[in-house]
Structure 1
Amino acid sequence: MDTIQKNPSQEKHSHDHDHTHNHNHGKMPIILYFSGLVLALIALVLNNDLELVQNSLFLMATITAGYHVVVLEGIGETIENTKAQKRFAPNSHLLMGLAAIGASLIGNFWEGTLLILIFSGAHFLEEYAEGRSKREITKLLEMNPTTARLMMPNGDTKIVDVSTLKVGDRLQVLNGDQIPIDGIIVSGTTSIDESSINGESIAKEKTKGDGVFGSTINGTGSFTMEVTKENKDTVFSKILQLVNQNQNNQTKAASIIQKFEPKYVTFVLVAIVLVVVLSPFLFNWTWSESLYKGLVLLVAASPCALAAATVSATLSATSNLAKKGVLSKGSSYLSQLAGIDAIAFDKTGTLTSGKPVVTNAYFSDAVNQEKMIDIVVALEKESNHPLADAILNKFKAKNKLNIQANNQLGKGLEGEYDGHTYRIGKPTSFEGVSDEYTRLNTEWATEGKTVVYVAEDNKVLGLIALMDVPNKQAKATIDYFKQQGIHTTLITGDSEMTGKAVAKQLGIDEVIANVMPEDKSRIIDEQKEKYGVTAMVGDGVNDAPALVNADVGIAMGDGTDVAVDVSDLVLMQNDLSKLVQSHKTSSKMSRIIWQNIIFSMAVVIFLVVANFLGLSNIAISVIIHEGSTLVVILNGLRMLVSKK
């Protein structure tokens, strides 16, 4: 038997798109930092009589520990940012370096080393917190078909590479095959699992003239298809292209401190120059006093506590959520989550359980309902249709009947019993149905339910309605976001009728139905433009472009590997209540960060004023700085407290 083979080169192919400014120099920065830390500790235990050796070790420790963060990133990023923005754009790394140099110049070598150790340590912790998640699309590539069965003029089939197919080629697709490319069926009937394209778990019945999509999975039937699109233009190829495009276009939102940092550093640098130059004229200080005050001001204004303002809070929040079953791929995404203005949800497997259940059933009073249920169960036991499990879970037979069932695509299940022919099928396959059943069918279908008729000798005697119902956390989740003033949207590949029925049950603000994967990505763009910061929650391959394109992509943990790989947050166990906890935690984290920032700046202002009043020196400034840093860290650690 022919099998569709995967391309080994594709299996090894992956894309790593890190949209932050990535200074990846391997392990060397950490090695240098700890080397500096060791040198500083050695200097501290030396006898004060060895002052020259002690100060030399402090100086070496300062240079070693701060080389990567202060020299490479401080100077390097300042130059890069200045070029990019076409104006002077320094960062706090540069300011900390100048503060350390200033402290050393006036003989306070330990204070200078301490500043660098704390600042560099906080920097490395923040990089760890960010996680630098890799958005792997290897699994997405593996799902892309690579070979097809091409039908030759003499009727034989030949295995060919999908990339060689042309519009008009005819292909054979056997039962269980992955459909290689987009096209239309020219002969045969089957049912196809199209979840990789539309996210819907119920297989679609297909026959001559119906369209099929590459990467979807054929069911039990075999068919012949005609290629209608080249490989690069298929729906699945567009998913790949959109994921790549959205990743390349994505920019990490700057944190509060990152936005504030350049202006603050520029202000401090200008202020120090003015203090040194103007103080002799304004305050009658000597040039020596003026220079010393300027250096004290540099140390006082160095954002030591500010640098640690986010680290402990974000690390603690990430740890807190991990214990609750939420995996965050970077603290910046938690910051974004706190400020979302809109949130979009996929339907199947996200807001719903992903599996249909029987919601309604009605049988004519003129029939023996117990007997009809026995017949229905006997027929469905012979079926491999996705609806069969739902019906069997709902109904239990009183008497076990042995009925040979024939599964006819387009007609449904059919079997003979006690001299009669019984059939379970979709309403359109029946004629002459009474008004009673037609009315119920219309009513239930309007509610987004899938209806099947049960007939004896082609006379409908009952009907069953099935639906993929909302999961138990969905309503409370939607209610929570609406209470927060956040716009909610349902984006689904399902019909508008079904989408609106689910949205009505849950109270969702907006429904966008009948969408393809590329539509979802475009809709996220529209939501961002209309409402602001937008999150997307999904679980399927078809959600991948939208998950990457959203400001915060959130995947259900039991969803496809692709959705989990490209998302920013993962909700384990498909529990939407974890999403509410994540938003509450991220909001609390944001409040704590602001508290830390305000406190840090208050300390800086206090030290600056004390310096001008002659009440401070470098030693006092460093002590108060480190004390404020400790307070900031402890405040952030409050996020470790887990509230159920």
Structure 2
Amino acid sequence: MKEYRLKGLSCPNCAADLEQQIQKLDNGETAQIQYNSGKIQLDEKVDLNKVEKILSSDHASLVKSDDEDEHELHSHSSNIKMYLGIATGVFILALLVDGMTSVTAIPIYLTAIILSGYQTFIKGLKNLVRLKFNIETLMTIALIGAVAIGEWREGTLVAILFGLNEYLEGLGMQKARKSMASLLQIAPKEAVIIRNGEEQTIPISSLQVNDLVLVRSGDKLPSDGVIESGNSSVNEAAITGEAMPVEKAVGEDVFGGSINNEGVLRIRITKAYKDSSLAKILHLVEEAQETKTPTEQFINRFSRYYTPIIMAISALVMIVPPVFFNADFGEWFYQGLAVLIVGCPCALILSSPIANIAGITRNARNGILIKGSVYLEQLGMIDTLAFDKTGTLTKGKPYVEKYETFDHETFLTVAAAVEKHSSHPLAKAIMDKVSEFPYRELEAEKLETIAGQGIEATIDGKRYRVGNENSVKGIQIEEGVHSTIASMKEEGLTLVLVADDTKILGVFGISDEIREESESVMSALHSSGIKNTVMLTGDHQKTAEKVSKRVGVRSYFAGLMPEEKVEKVKELTKEGKVAMIGDGINDAPALATANLGIAMGKGTDSAIETADIVLMQDHLGKLPDAISIAKRVNRTIRLNIALALGLKLIALLLTIPGLLTLWIAILSDMGATILVTLISLTILWEKKEKQVNDVQHPEPQHS
């Protein structure tokens, strides 16, 4: 499949019609037109000349270059404004000389009609011949009818207003597309590689794994890699949405699309650009525009029946009063034409896609990757959030929360001598704590790992033990030491004891550090309408209880195996809409089981591939914003639908007393279109949602 950009697409229905025609061509069965992003995917064997011919029937065409695309965008917009301006001027001229004879006035009105809507009416006439009824067909019938009964002035006004409506409709979608396009342009175009000691500039598509690239201050990193030389702060906003720079040094991973703030970095590429985190993110965001939510699918189905129903109502309005109530045929024929115009479903069709594109774009700017409009809609409907503990509410990194020493100097010296060569996470946590104090550096000898206990070692000829409670069996424990151990266990801490053959020298109480933002995030979630927050963890009861109280989740379940987490999620989904939040690896089954899977990733492949939504930061800080935006999108769509149908209903009710006119009909349609477009675009423009952080949490319940 090959992808091309399109110019001149006029509406979603027209795009769907063009797609069906292209699919009838040889090798065209798989053709797909993506109206929201203005693209078409074609089999490489399809005849492009035939595709161009089909597209030209709707005044659309393939874009050959970026320059042509940009030029066409401005040119098309300027031409429409020019034609509408001239048409309006001609119409005003006709009004000023209203007393002129019809022989003089009609050509002026006809000129205004042609200038403002000739493209629409040419398509409408073609559709009439094919007995295909859509927006252009309805407008063409209405205009022909108005001219037939001599309503030149109102017919002209209808043509001008409909042209303006089409222009504003296209402008709204263009604004949404430009917003998405600006997001997709964050990828660098070229990379400076070092080969044989020389610098060469190449397209990033030519970049290969193990290439060494040079990134100067202010330049974008071309792809994911590891720093070989240089130190700098890097702006990772393209990946994580975080504005604050991150300090990077030799050996650290970096992401393509990040900006090097200062200094010069040499980076060894670990992924070709097409496999990089940035490329995957941009591809998924682009795909997300084209997914259809249940609401959009309903609107599309409804609009297919809506137009024929409106035509039937129009026919009844024209026929019933004159035939059965002896009313004036000309007057009710005019009313029937107005009903046809009311039947244009422009506003209804636009009520959802612009809002969804705006929501997806705004979240993507914040480093929140939503893989489709359907997931955005579901996020706005979630009432229960289930959290994994380790790496989600906590940092997933052990640290010494508390320690007790009974022989301070020996305790620290022995702990450091035994743990300094270990790569175990608990050993690193102990070394981080010990390094805060002065201690004698000694070497441990004859280190022996005892399964299920810990390590035994000889230091200065004396035997010591470092491990759990099992490692100190046989040692007489004093009452004070015993109570200290019991107290730390009661707090849910993991214990590491240091002892010689006769006594305990000290105890480290280790826990998984709670993320600084977890409590405020939980508060913001509860205040934003999330009814239930649940922590699911494989950790033991005391630890789960401690974390749940600290962060403010409303309930928790401890000691769960992965399959048991899945069962708990299934139980929760019976009570409401559930989103599961985890790291995208260990929690994959639970993420897949929930109504919505949300992974914390910071660019990891597994996170991007596993979940429906990915928080590209390594924290939950922007989750409340994402939910607020999703809820806002859903509210906006409901408001848009109500406005689109409400204004049309009011216009239709005016037929009862015979007050509906052609210009009122077109204004009701244009007004609804302008309103739904502007309301949808405010999702892009509005400032960051405020978060409420002073919500009081109820005491967590446990099971």
Task: Give the shorter-chain TM-score range.
Answer: 0.5 to 0.7
Q: Which runs of 5+ in 2 are unaligned?
A: 1-15, 21-29, 41-53, 62-75, 88-107, 148-154, 182-290, 690-703
Q: Which residue of the partner structure matches residue 378 of structure 1?
A: 417
Matched, 1:525 2:557: no
Matched, 1:401 2:442: yes
Of residues 58, 61, 86 in structure 2, which corresponds to 1:36? 58
Root-mean-square deviation (Å): 4.3
Q: Which residue of the partner structure matches residue 389 of structure 1?
A: 428
Match of 2:652, SS state, is helix
Instruction: Give the alignment's TM-score, normalised by structure 1.
Output: 0.63
How far residue 634 of structure 1 moved from its aligned partner, in angstroms, is 1.7
Deviations 1:512-541 (A, max 9, x none): 2333434333332221212x1111111132
| 8 A Cα contact 1:556 1:574, kept in partner | yes
Deviations 1:384-413 (A, max 9, x none): 212111111112143322223625142322
Distance in 2 (alpha carbons) for counterparts of 1:304 and 1:312: 13
How far residue 330 of structure 1 moved from its aligned partner, in angstroms, is 2.2
Deviations 1:444-503 (A, max 9, x none): 233332111111126322111111122111112222333435111111233344323322
Q: Which residue of the partner structure matches residue 18 of structure 1?
A: none
Distance in 2 (alpha carbons) for counterparts of 1:26 and 1:565: 24
Change in 2 beyond 3 A, CA 1:518/1:270: farther
Deviations 1:575-620 (A, max 9, x none): 3120111122222333333333333333213322445555444455
Change in 2 beyond 3 A, CA 1:28/1:527: closer
Distance in 1 (alpha carbons) for counterparts of 2:312 and 2:474: 88
**What is the one-letter code of the residue matched to 1:352?**
T
Match of 2:514, SS state, is coil
Match of 1:536, SS state, is strand
How far residue 350 of structure 1 moved from its aligned partner, in angstroms, is 0.8
Q: Which residue of the partner structure matches residue 509 of structure 1?
A: 554
Q: Which moved more, 1:256-265 or 1:514-523?
A: 256-265
Change in 2 beyond 3 A, CA 1:405/1:351: farther
Matched, 1:489 2:524: no
Structure possessing the higher relative contact order (Cα contacts under 8 Å, 6 or more residues apart): 1
Distance in 1 (alpha carbons) for counterparts of 2:524 and 2:587: 23
Distance in 2 (alpha carbons) for counterparts of 1:595 and 1:503: 38
5 Å matches for 1:435-584?
A: 435-457=479-501, 459-483=503-527, 484-530=529-575, 532-558=576-602, 560-584=604-628
**What is the one-letter code of the residue matched to 1:401?**
L
Q: Which moved more, 1:560-569 or 1:422-431?
A: 560-569
Distance in 1 (alpha carbons) for counterparts of 2:446 and 2:55: 73
Q: Which moved more, 1:294-303 or 1:450-459?
A: 294-303
Q: Which residue of the partner structure matches residue 308 of structure 1?
A: 350
Match of 1:570, SS state, is strand
How far residue 261 of structure 1 moved from its aligned partner, in angstroms, is 6.7
Q: Which residue of the partner structure matches residue 31 of structure 2?
A: 25
| 8 A Cα contact 1:123 1:307, kept in partner | no
Change in 2 beyond 3 A, CA 1:430/1:404: same
**What is the one-letter code of the residue matched to 1:556?**
M
Distance in 2 (alpha carbons) for counterparts of 1:256 and 1:36: 23
Q: Which runs of 5+ in 1 are unaligned?
A: 1-20, 76-93, 132-250
Distance in 1 (alpha carbons) for counterparts of 2:121 and 2:550: 67
Q: Which residue of the partner structure matches residue 155 of structure 1?
A: none
| 8 A Cα contact 2:318 2:333, kept in partner | yes
Change in 2 beyond 3 A, CA 1:280/1:516: farther
5 Å matches for 1:46-85?
A: 57-61=119-123
Q: Which residue of the partner structure matches residue 262 of structure 1?
A: 302
Change in 2 beyond 3 A, CA 1:627/1:49: closer
Q: Which residue of the partner structure matches residue 399 of structure 2?
A: 357
Deviations 1:177-232 (A, max 9, x none): xxxxxxxxxxxxxxxxxxxxxxxxxxxxxxxxxxxxxxxxxxxxxxxxxxxxxxxx
**What is the one-letter code of the residue matched to 2:559?**
N
Deviations 1:302-345 (A, max 9, x none): 33223222333333333322232222222332332222121111
| 8 A Cα contact 1:130 1:331, kept in partner | no
Distance in 2 (alpha carbons) for counterparts of 1:114 and 1:57: 13
Q: Which moved more, 1:465-474 or 1:442-451?
A: 442-451
Match of 1:318, SS state, is helix
**What is the one-letter code of the residue matched to 1:391?**
I
Instruction: Give the alignment's TM-score, normalised by structure 2.
Output: 0.58
Distance in 2 (alpha carbons) for counterparts of 1:441 and 1:63: 88
Change in 2 beyond 3 A, CA 1:119/1:489: same
Distance in 1 (alpha carbons) for counterparts of 2:553 and 2:120: 61
Distance in 1 (alpha carbons) for counterparts of 2:489 and 2:141: 76
How far residue 271 of structure 1 moved from its aligned partner, in angstroms, is 4.1
**What is the one-letter code of the residue matched to 1:605?**
L
Change in 2 beyond 3 A, CA 1:454/1:514: same
Change in 2 beyond 3 A, CA 1:636/1:424: same
**What is the one-letter code of the residue matched to 2:423?**
N
Change in 2 beyond 3 A, CA 1:540/1:632: closer
Percent of pairs with identical residues: 29
Distance in 1 (alpha carbons) for counterparts of 2:540 and 2:596: 26
5 Å matches for 1:313-352?
A: 313-352=355-394
Distance in 1 (alpha carbons) for counterparts of 2:630 and 2:462: 63
**What is the one-letter code of the residue matched to 2:569?**
I
Distance in 2 (alpha carbons) for counterparts of 1:407 and 1:252: 61
Change in 2 beyond 3 A, CA 1:614/1:129: farther
